[in-house]
Amino acid sequence: MGPLEVLLCILCTFIPNTSCLTVNTIWTQENKVPEKVQENEVKNLTQRLLGNRSSEFVLTVDPGLRTENGNNKAVLESRTVNGVTTINIVGSTGVAAAWGLHHYLKYFCQAHISWETSQLNLPDPLPEVQLTLTANDLFRYYQNVCTAGYSFCMGGNGWTGRDI
């Protein structure tokens, strides 16, 4: 148990109905969603974002990539065969693979994806890459739960479907 976990265990003694066991459970991550399901979802995301250019990206999930502390990793590698470049992205989870895709699009292709607009004019051929990303944090959060809770229900399928 690390120093932060010990501190949380001490703090939890002052919070009713909690224990050190509760804190240890927080730090133990398990993927409840099978790897193939995560892979399919991140491939669907790639198809929604990039359309016919999605065939130039191969995204896979390998839980064995996690660091010994449990942090996510994404490995990005390009391969060029007969003048066609394919970007292979392996993530320790589907979220890590999507993170790797976003990183590549943003920093190697100068693409931009936001709520308001997207610029996804990718260069042809795709830029070469050989990179490993390691998350600094154990958990990744998207949005403020209150804001999202109030906003997403008003957005309709076109907005929320793209955002998810």
Q: At a CB cut-off of 8 Å and minimum separation 6, what does 134 contact?
A: 67, 71, 72, 73
The predicted-structure confidence for 94-114, as pLDDT tens digits, reads as follows 999 999 999 999 999 999 988
pLDDT value at residue 113: 87
The per-residue DSSP string of 58-127 comes to EEEE-GGGS-TT---EEEEEEEEETTEEEEEEEESSHHHHHHHHHHHHHHTS--EE-SS-EE----SSPP
What distance in Å separates the CA atoms of residue 139 and residue 39, rounded to the nearest whole number?
A: 19
Q: At a CB cut-off of 8 Å and minimum separation 6, what does 78 contact?
A: 85, 86, 87, 88, 126, 127, 128, 129, 130
The structure's pTM equals: 0.74
Higher pLDDT: 19 or 124? It is 124
Helix axes 94-107, 35-50, angle to 10 degrees: 30
Structure tokens at 54: 């999605």
3-state secondary structure of 133: strand
The predicted-structure confidence for 4-58, as pLDDT tens digits, reads as follows 555 555 555 555 555 554 445 555 556 688 899 999 999 999 999 999 999 999 9
The predicted-structure confidence for 71-84, as pLDDT tens digits, reads as follows 899 999 999 999 89
